Structure 1
Amino acid sequence: MPDRLTKEQRSALMGRVRQKDTAPELALRSALHRRGLRFRKNVRGLPGSPDVVFPGAKVAVFVDGDFWHGRDFAAWSAKLQPFWKAKIERNIERDRGNVADLEALGWQVLRVWEKDVKKRLPDVVEEVASLVSARRAGRRVRAGAGLDVQATVRLG
């Protein structure tokens, strides 16, 4: 099925999709700040420009949109047009590459789904706080224990 929008209309529509400061990112950052954690946001010098960065602890947090980053992609990818399927697959591969690049630089990466931020914010905040605390104490930890994880660490 061809796209019903013109190239210009599609471009305008896609241009309105937020890439940073999304509602889930704002909610997580606000909760982390209330918890007393201080961080940088959208650090462009790091692979993937992580949404939340704790430089001293070398912890990078990404808040991934469920659609754009392929949450449960295998379950619904067959319904997509080939263009969109390829787009999401490229996003997933880019995410994996960014995680590998960050890990090679000594960073620990936590990727959380927007759904988890919306429905399990206290759990996500606790996971981030525990990871940052452990890293600041000099311990390398496997975050996400007891949670459904993907890539390095993935809540949800």
Structure 2
Amino acid sequence: MTDIFSKEKRSWVMSRIRSKNTSIDLKMKDMLSAINCNFTMYPKMHGNPDFVLDEKKIAIFCDGDFWHGYRYFEKKKPAKAYWKNKIETNMKRDKKISRELRKEGWSVLRFWEHDLNKRNQVCINKILKKIHERQQ
């Protein structure tokens, strides 16, 4: 499939995609605030999680469905090699970072964009369950 934008226009469009304060990050922030969690947003640490609950050593990632490959192997792959490589590299990096953080004693929670948008209570319950587990 041919891109509908020129190379310059595509570059401009892509430059507008944020990595911080995205809509799903702000939803997670609201959820954590609603359950009175002490959290740090975008901490400067290995793996760059979106949030950490320092006292419990819980790292939270909010993953966009497209960028992080939700059901990637069940769907038709992107036609352009660039996008295929981008998404697959993100997926490999996500697994590696989660594994490394767990080795360092962190619990890692990853939430998909569609869950944050449509299943808030499920996300909150997972966080509360993890907090409870880490207290014992």
Fold shared, TM-score > 0.5 on shorter chain = yes
Which residue does 1:15 correspond to in 2? 15
Give secondary structure in 1 for the equivalent of 2:109.
Answer: strand
Which residue does 1:123 correspond to in 2? 122
Contact map agreement 1:52 1:60 (CA 8 A) in 2: yes
Sort the Cα spacing of 1:12 and 1:94 in 2 relative to 1 into closer, same or farther, 3 A. Answer: same
Which residue does 2:80 correspond to in 1? 81
Structure-1 separation of matches of 2:42 and 2:7: 29
User: Amino acid of the residue matched to residue 21 of structure 1?
Assistant: N
Give secondary structure in 1 for the equivalent of 2:52.
Answer: strand
Gap regions ≥5 residues in structure 2: none
Structure-2 separation of matches of 1:111 and 1:77: 23
Identity of aligned residues (%): 35
Give secondary structure in 2 for the equivalent of 1:11.
Answer: helix
Give secondary structure in 2 for the equivalent of 1:78.
Answer: coil
Distance apart, 1:74 and its partner CA: 1.1
Give secondary structure in 2 for the equivalent of 1:56.
Answer: helix
Report the count of equivalent residues.
Answer: 136
Q: Which runs of 4+ in 1 moved over 6 A?
A: none
Deviations 1:36-67 (A, max 9, x none): 111001112221x1111011111001010000
Structure-1 separation of matches of 2:131 and 2:54: 10
Give secondary structure in 1 for the equivalent of 2:5.
Answer: coil
Deviations 1:102-132 (A, max 9, x none): 1121111011101001111011011112202
Query: What pairs up with 1:7-156 in 2 under 5 angstroms?
Result: 7-47=7-47, 49-135=48-134, 137-138=135-136
Give secondary structure in 2 for the equivalent of 1:87.
Answer: helix
Structure-2 separation of matches of 1:88 and 1:79: 9
Q: What is the RMSD computed on CA atoms of the aligned residues? A: 1.5
Structure-2 separation of matches of 1:7 and 1:101: 37
Gap regions ≥5 residues in structure 1: 139-156
Distance apart, 1:2 and its partner CA: 4.8
Query: What TM-score does the superposition give when structure 2 sets the normalisation length?
Result: 0.91
